[in-house]
Each structure stands twice: as C-alpha cells, then as structure tokens.
Amino acid sequence: MLIEKLCKEQNLTDDEFRTLLETDRYDDALREAADAVRREHYGTDVYLRGLIEFTNFCKNDCLYCGIRRSNKCASRYRLTEEDIMACCKEGYGLGYRTFVLQGGEDPYFTDERVCQIVREIRTRYPDCAITLSIGEKSRESYQAFFDAGANRYLLRHETADPTLYSRLHPAELSLENRIRCLYDLKDIGYQVGAGMMVGCPGQTTDHLIRDLRFLQELKPDMIGIGPFIPHKDTPFKDEQRGDLYLVLRLLGILRLMFPWVLLPATTALGTIHPQGRELGLKMGANVIMPNLSPVSVRKKYMLYDDKICTGEESAQCVDCLERRVTSVGYQIVSGRGDVKR
C-alpha cells in the first residue's frame, strides 16, 4: 500500500515515511518499484562523472570530515592547472563527458583561478559538462564560475535540521547560508545537487524526514547520499557508520519521490559493502562518480576511513565498473548525462 501510494503521489505523510524508513518489510517491493521507475525514465543507462579531487586544503572544520583544517595528520596537496588538464585528457579518452572538480574550501583557489581552470576546460572540451563542488561561496562567485562555463554544482546540505547541522559543523557555518547557496546556484541556472549524510551522529528518522521535505522544496537535479563513515583523525572517530540498508531504502524512496532525478551510487556506499554500489543501482541509482585524480594523491583525499578505489588507475576503475554495472543488468553510457525532467 505505502509503496503504491508513493509511486502514485510521489509523496507520503511523515508517519508513512517513518514506517517505510524504520522497517525492512517493504525493501523488496521498494526495490522493484524504484527500478521500474528508473527504467521508465532512464532505461538501463548509467552515467559516469569523472571526479577530480584537486585540493585537500580546507579552511573549514566540519566534525565528520577527514580533511578538516584541524586534522594535522592530513598530508595536504594541490593539483596544478596542468595536472587537472591531464586528468581531463585521460578522462575524455576513457569516455567521460562530465568532469567534477571537487575540493576543500581552499583560499589558494581564488575566483580568478577557478574561472581560469573552468575556462580552459570549457575551451578544450566544449561537449563536456563541468561540475564544481567547492563549497559555500558568494552569489557573485557562483555567477563568475557559471559565466566561465561551469554548468553544474554539487553542494550537499548534509542535514536540513538546524540543530543537527550545528552539531556537525563549526560555529561559523550555518544551515541558513548553505541553503542560501543552493537557491543562488539554482537561480543562476546551474543544475544543482544536494544531499545528506545518512546515519551521522545524532541523526534520527525525523531528521531524515526533514531532509526529504527540504528536497521537495529545493527540487535539485541531483541528490547525493551516502552513509556516514567515521574518520580516525576526527572527533567522530568512535561513532557508528551509517547503515547500508537505511541508505538503500532512502535511495529507493528518493527515486519514487523524484522519478527524473540523477542519483549516484556513491563511493561511500561502495566502501561499507563490497557490492554497495551495485545494490544502489538496483534501488534506483543511475550515476557513478569514479575517481580521475592522479593515483599519487588519491589516498590524501580521505574524507572517511577505508575509502575504495584509492589505489587504482582510472582505467582500472572503468573496467571494474563496467563489469559491476553489467553484472546487475545496467550499462554505462558515454555522454553528458543531463537530467531528464
């Protein structure tokens, strides 16, 4: 009943969402329904996003994150513009048509430097989408990046509950500003990705329902969710990881709430279970974001412990992913993979 209603109305009451999130009774039905909806909108296509982690310097101090500024054990690096271009070149050859530039909030990368890099990629690869994931900036900065040729922006809201938000972040960060950023990005014309960390310390079902309500308002093009995973050099080192099945259930629910949305099977999901990403694909996910960063820096971009794919060459990941994706009945397609809404 609940699943049928969610399919038909793309919505449930808070109590119904709670029931769905808190039991495993509906998991099979949810998977079948989510898979049917993803096939209706995206067939069996899986889109790739080449992730270039270009700096792990960060001025922020989020309590969960391995590259927070207080982590003195992190060995810091920055890629040069040439390094970044080499990643794009390799990625383009491997079939990638979306490049995601992700980094900590690194003051070295001024607006001018970011714009310069974006312009360079835009000139060399006019057929590719450029995604930025570099945190909270002013509206003017976002506009400048957009004018330089960026098309998409990933900024997870992490949690839509202000109290929980303040428990996960240092005092200088606020949910209010995060939300301001997301609406500015949308308004400027970016395809926007938001999302939350599932199972972070202090999170309850009610917090997750609040996340779903927030996403209903924002209507982002992409929703990135993954389990919280503790990092050994952060204040949350002794906390529990997020639960695999809760993440999967949320993926299924999100697919049914937002039939057209781009939904990645995240690296964090692949980290907590050897077939985590495949299970995600079967629950409605349709995007994978393999790492294009140089192998020499991959182990330094450790947001959480035991992150997978940090020892592999990009080409090895492509082969591995090809096998994983076909093993569950889907296929990787080349192309920008824009949202179909």
Minimum CB separation from ligand FES for residue 310, in Å? Answer: 9
Q: Does 7 bind ligand FES (CB under 6 A)?
A: no
Binders of ligand FES in range 30-49 (CB under 6 A):
none
Kindly tell me which of 316 and 326 has the beta carbon lying closer to ligand FES.
Answer: 316
Asked whether the beta carbons of 314 and 88 are under 8 A apart, the reply is no
For ligand FES, what does the binding mask look like between residues 271 and 310, x meaning CB under 6 A?
Answer: -------------------x------------------x-
Kindly tell me which of 101 and 321 has the beta carbon lying closer to ligand FES.
Answer: 321
Residue 30: both structure tokens together: 């949810």
User: What distance in Å separates the CA atoms of residue 286 and residue 274, rounded to the nearest whole number?
Assistant: 18
Residue 9: both structure tokens together: 């109305």
Asked whether the beta carbons of 88 and 124 are under 8 A apart, the reply is yes
Whole-number CA gyration radius for the chain: 19
Residue 23: both structure tokens together: 């039991």
**Hey, what amino acid is at 152?**
R
For ligand FES, what does the binding mask look like between residues 308 and 327, x meaning CB under 6 A?
Answer: -x--x---xx--xx------
Distances (CA, A) of 185 to 49, 132, 146, 148, 181: 20, 11, 9, 14, 6
For ligand FES, what does the binding mask look like between residues 134 and 173, x meaning CB under 6 A?
Answer: ----------------------------------------
Minimum CB separation from ligand FES for residue 293, in Å? Answer: 12
- Strands across the sheet with 331-333, in order? 287-288, 45-48, 331-333
Q: Which residues of the chain form contacts with ligand 5AD (CB under 6 A)?
A: 64-65, 156, 158, 197, 226, 228-229, 231, 268, 303-304
Minimum CB separation from ligand FES for residue 285, in Å? Answer: 14
Half-sphere exposure of 77 (CA within 13 A, CB side): 18
Kindly tell me which of 256 and 321 has the beta carbon lying closer to ligand FES.
Answer: 321
> Which does residue 49 bind out of ligand 5AD, ligand FES, none, counting CB within 5 to 8 angstroms by kind?
none
For residue 215, give the nearest of 163, 177, 256 by alpha carbon.
Answer: 256
Residue 70: both structure tokens together: 């207080």
User: Which residues are at the interface with ligand FES (CB under 6 A)?
Assistant: 290, 309, 312, 316-317, 320-321
